[in-house]
Amino acid sequence: MFESAEIGHEIDKSTFEEEYAKLRTELLEAQFDLIESGTFPVIILAAGMEGAGVIDALTNAHTVLDSRHVVTHATDAPTREETERPRMWRFWRTLPPKGEIGIYVGAWYTTPLIGRILGKTGSADFDRQMQSIKRLENMLATEGALILKFWFHLDKKKQKKRLQKLEESERTKWRIEESPLGGSKHYEEVKSAAEQMMQITGTDQAPWIPVNATNKHYKSLVVMRTILDAIQARLAEPPAEQPVPAPVRVPDIDGKTLLSTLDLSHKLEKESYKKQLEKYQDRLNELVWDKKFRKHSVVLVFEGNDAAGKGGAIRRVIQFLDPRRYRVNQYAAPTEEERAQPYLWRFWRRIPQNGHVGIFDRSWYGRVLVERVEKFCSEADWRRAYGEINDFEAEMSQAGIVVIKFWLAIDKDEQELRFKAREETGYKRYKITDEDWRNREKWDEYTEAVCDMIDYTSTSIAPWTIVEANDKYYARIKVLKTICQQIAKRLK
């Protein structure tokens, strides 16, 4: 994998200066075009052998760019805010919006690489981490990001020499002393981990570019030229849409579906409702104040037919919770800032920190429900979203978050009754619009989308609970009871 990257390249100063002068102008112009077009973000990621001078290699490129539209991010130790959330949260926070350039040193590769090199992570676990990074980058790329990843390489001899030099100077020897990789002692481990990393995560969408790092002029020119070519190519030609093969589905033999076989006649009497409500609200409060909950948090997803009673159910959940401990996030059409980012971005930002409850009144499932049915995104987009959502929830679950998802189901007649009642009740009239009636016309399409969503995204770590919601009392208790059970199970 590193054969060509072990060939030395001697670029002398005058050749460099000549090339640099040319590249400088072209790169800045390309950046202006990028900003003006505002159609995609550029993510530049760099890593490499110790002593390869990763930062040095990037400095020229960063310097010539318009600094208002480029940020270089080091991967320092995470802040408390960051450690209390899934490990990718800190990177999502800093993703460049469309038109901007983000330069990352190490980024999401740093922790897995160090773990593997020091032998704390086994080969299979490292493989899994790399697969998960591959899917993340693939998603960012499919959402439009131009991703370039540089690996600055040194052969063993050159590295040894380089590190000696760094150690001899008072000004630079801290770089070796503070290195988590212990200098050149782990050369073979670094090379082999990097090989595995490149084999898995080096894709057409997010390629690795291995660069020989012995000559500073050479590596600087390679970086500038690669970025320039890639931006120009992308501006000239947007990526082709991947054709979507027709999905294979279980053929419909008898018309029975997940929703059609639901028993919506479940009911609860008022007395029984009140008793149980109190019981589960108390229980929930207890759980949230449990000492063990300090290392967890809860994400509650509420989806359902229009007028199925999401709002009412949410109110019963939060009624006696400490308002500092929860946040209700409601989602409608994305804002301009949100549209400049991948679709999951606006949900990533609202992931609760440890000890908190994040409530999502509508959620990332909009992608495979309203966006699918109303054709706000392409078929390829919503089809790939099932996997992306499963990854997103797995990421949360690994970080200790209990993900609980509800589909509140009512039938078509019940919906009509509720719509009409809303129109007639003064303070509820704002809740019913023409759009609600229009959505209702697409009942069957939504039903199909809901069945697909549940089949593809109900997983053991983040299962869907279908709530029979024709009776509001029954529905609210089922919601509260499920929340208590699932939190308790996780805290055990």
Q: Which residues bind a second copy (CB under 8 A)?
A: 1-5, 7, 9-11, 19, 122, 124-125, 127-128, 131, 148, 191-192, 195, 199, 204-205, 207, 209-211, 218, 221-222, 225-226, 229-230, 233, 239-251, 253-254, 256-258, 261, 383, 387, 390, 451, 454-456, 458-460, 464
- 266 vs 422, which CB is nearer to a second copy? 266
Report how far apart, in Å, the C-alpha atoms of 222 and of each of 64, 304, 398 are.
15, 52, 38
- 419 vs 456, which CB is nearer to a second copy? 456
Closest contact distance (angstroms) between CB of 148 and a second copy is 7
- 92 vs 126, which CB is nearer to a second copy? 126
In terms of C-beta distances under 8 Å and separation of at least 24 residues, what long-range contacts does 232-238 make, across chains too?
A: 232/30, 234/40, 234/146, 235/30, 235/33, 235/34, 235/37, 238/39
> What is the Cα–Cα distance from 127 to 59, expressed in whole angstroms?
31
- 67 vs 260, which CB is nearer to a second copy? 260
- 54 vs 359, which CB is nearer to a second copy? 54
Three-class SS state of 38: coil
- 221 vs 402, which CB is nearer to a second copy? 221
Structure tokens at 288: 């949230």
Closest contact distance (angstroms) between CB of 453 and a second copy is 10
375: left (phi over 0), alpha (psi -120 to 50) or beta: left
Listing DSSP states for 53-107 in one string gives: -HHHHHHHHHHHS-GGGEEEE---PPPHHHHTS-TTHHHHHHPPPTT-EEEEESG
The Cβ-side half-sphere exposure at 265, using a 13 Å CA radius, reads 2
> Could you tell me if 146 and 229 are in contact, meaning their C-beta atoms sit under 8 angstroms apart?
no
* Residues ≥6 apart with Cβ < 8 Å to 121: 112, 115, 129
CA-nearest of 31, 107, 93 to 65 is 31
Closest contact distance (angstroms) between CB of 106 and a second copy is 20
> What is the Cα–Cα distance from 320 to 279, expressed in whole angstroms?
12
Three-class SS state of 112: helix
> What is the Cα–Cα distance from 299 to 404, expressed in whole angstroms?
6
Structure tokens at 156: 């063993």
Structure tokens at 126: 């490292």
- 90 vs 384, which CB is nearer to a second copy? 384
- 239 vs 312, which CB is nearer to a second copy? 239
- 255 vs 323, which CB is nearer to a second copy? 255
Closest contact distance (angstroms) between CB of 150 and a second copy is 9
Q: Which amino acid is at 120?
A: K
Closest contact distance (angstroms) between CB of 99 and a second copy is 21
Closest contact distance (angstroms) between CB of 207 and a second copy is 4
Closest contact distance (angstroms) between CB of 122 and a second copy is 7
- 221 vs 351, which CB is nearer to a second copy? 221
Closest contact distance (angstroms) between CB of 40 and a second copy is 13
> What is the Cα–Cα distance from 484 to 287, expressed in whole angstroms?
8
CA dihedral 153, 158, 162, 168 (to 10 degrees): 160
Closest contact distance (angstroms) between CB of 491 and a second copy is 20
DSSP bridge pairs for 326? 357
In terms of C-beta distances under 8 Å and separation of at least 24 residues, what long-range contacts does 191-195 make, across chains too?
A: 191/2, 193/113, 193/116, 193/117, 193/126, 194/1, 194/2, 194/47, 194/113, 194/151, 195/1, 195/2
- 351 vs 389, which CB is nearer to a second copy? 389
- 179 vs 196, which CB is nearer to a second copy? 196
Closest contact distance (angstroms) between CB of 197 and a second copy is 12
Closest contact distance (angstroms) between CB of 454 and a second copy is 5
> What is the Cα–Cα distance from 52 to 272, expressed in whole angstroms?
70
> What is the Cα–Cα distance from 490 to 325, expressed in whole angstroms?
18
Closest contact distance (angstroms) between CB of 141 and a second copy is 9
Q: Are strands 464-468 and 357-361 parallel, antiparallel or unpaired?
A: unpaired
